[in-house]
Amino acid sequence: MPPELVLNVVIAGVLTGLVYGLMALGLSVIFGVVRVVNFAHGEMMTIAMYAAAALFAALKLDPFLAVLPVAAAFFVLGYAMQAGLINPFITRPEHSQFMLLVAVAIILVNALLIVFGPDARNVQLDYQLESYELGKLLLDKARVYAAGLAVVAAVLLFLFFRFTLTGKAIRACADNYLGAKVVGLNVKRLYALTFGLGSACVAVAGCAMVLLVDVTPGLGPYYTLLAFVIVIVGGLGSMGGALLGGVLIGVSEAAAGLFIAPSAKSMFSFGLLILVLLLRPQGLLGKRA
């Protein structure tokens, strides 16, 4: 097998994996702080993809420029969802939270079907059909841009949690819920802020993903499952783990397609999931409970 073929496929896997990673990062951040598993995560990403596609159709707005309004809208949506809908469920049993978010997911899919119908929507820009040529390597431009956006968004999120007071307060809530309340932090507001940030992450990933994939309402459950696979492989609650998990899934799917059979790609990522669950249940970068 020619080495440039292997390298091309691996690089494509890394680039797609970074976008997957950003999507999963939102899920990981929300779980890491709020301790609620967002079963509507993929559906939210699908809505972001539709939003980017609709902005492109109406205003010819490049999805990279649509990132700002879509992410801002998703931040508000996420904040409102946590403050109005999820906060009352924080102290309830896990199965109640699970059912709540599954119900939200089903409503979102059906709302998309009602509004947009079952047909696929996409964005068509000239650079989506172009590639960078590096010797024998061909790098898909849209994929490079999407991965770059994912990295920038992940770095900004990391800096926010690391260096801002609000970020530190959110981390304090994640580390010790009771302690955070005792020192006077407004935990519910910080939870809402976290859910807003996680949603904004998903929005950015959606804007990037719409350049690579046509969007249909049925994509939601697929992305929810994919996000779960990634965060479990990378470590639930770990930001670096989500990105690493995304890249690993992207590369392993690409390599499986190349070396085994293209139709076995998904099977391979689930195989990786089982392997991680067996050998390192907390995930590659997760902390042992």
Partner 1 sequence: MQRRQFNKALAAAGIVSLSSPLNMARAQAQKLRVGVILPRSGYLSFIGQSCQKGADLAPGVVKEMLGVEIELMNADFESNVDTARTRAERLIQEGANVLVGPFDSGAAAAIAQVAEQRGVPFVINIAAAPQITEQGYKFVFRNFQTAGDIVRNGLALIGDLLQATSTVPRSAVFMHVNDTFGQAMAKGIGAFMPKMTQLPFKLVDTISYDPAAKDLTVEVSKAKASNADFLLLVCRLNDAILLRREMVKQRWNPMGIVSPGSPGMYEEQYFKALGKLSENSISNVPWYNPNANLTKVVEKAFLKQNPKDRLVFHGLNVGFTFEALLIAADAFRRAKSTDPRTLADAIRQTSITDKMTLGGPIKFSEKGQVEGIGSACVQNRNLVPTVVLPATAATAKPIFPVPEYKKA
**Site residues (CB under 8 A) for partner 1?**
1-2, 5, 8-9, 12, 16, 113, 117-120, 122, 124, 128-131, 138, 140, 212-214, 216, 218-219, 254, 257-258, 261-263, 265-266
Residue with tokens 């059906």: 110
Q: Nearest approach, Cβ of 131 to partner 1 (angstroms)?
A: 5
Cα four-point dihedral sign 101, 197, 67, 140: negative
Shortest Cβ 103–partner 1 spacing (Å): 20
- In one-letter notation, the amino acid at residue 87 is N
Provide, rounded to whole angstroms, the least separation between the CB of residue 34 and partner 1: 29
- In the complex with partner 1, the residue whose CB is nearer, 218 or 271, is 218
Give least dist CB 239 to partner 1, A.
25
Burial 233-270 (b: 16+ CB within 10 A, else e): bbbbbbbbbbbbbbbbbbbbbbbbbbeeeeeebbebbe
**193/210 with CB nearer partner 1:** 210
User: Rounded to the nearest whole angstrom, what is the least distance from the CB of residue 193 to partner 1 in the complex?
Assistant: 32
Between 143 and 195, CB nearer to partner 1: 143
> What's the chain's Rg over C-alpha atoms?
19
From the centroid of its chain, how far is CA 84? 23
Nearer to partner 1, 6 or 80 (CB): 6
Give whichever of 240 and 257 is closer to partner 1, judged by the CB atom: 257
Q: What DSSP designation does 121 have?
A: B
Strand partners, 165: none
* Closest residue by Cα to residue 240 from 272, 278, 284: 284
Cβ atoms of 15 and 147 closer than 8 Å: yes
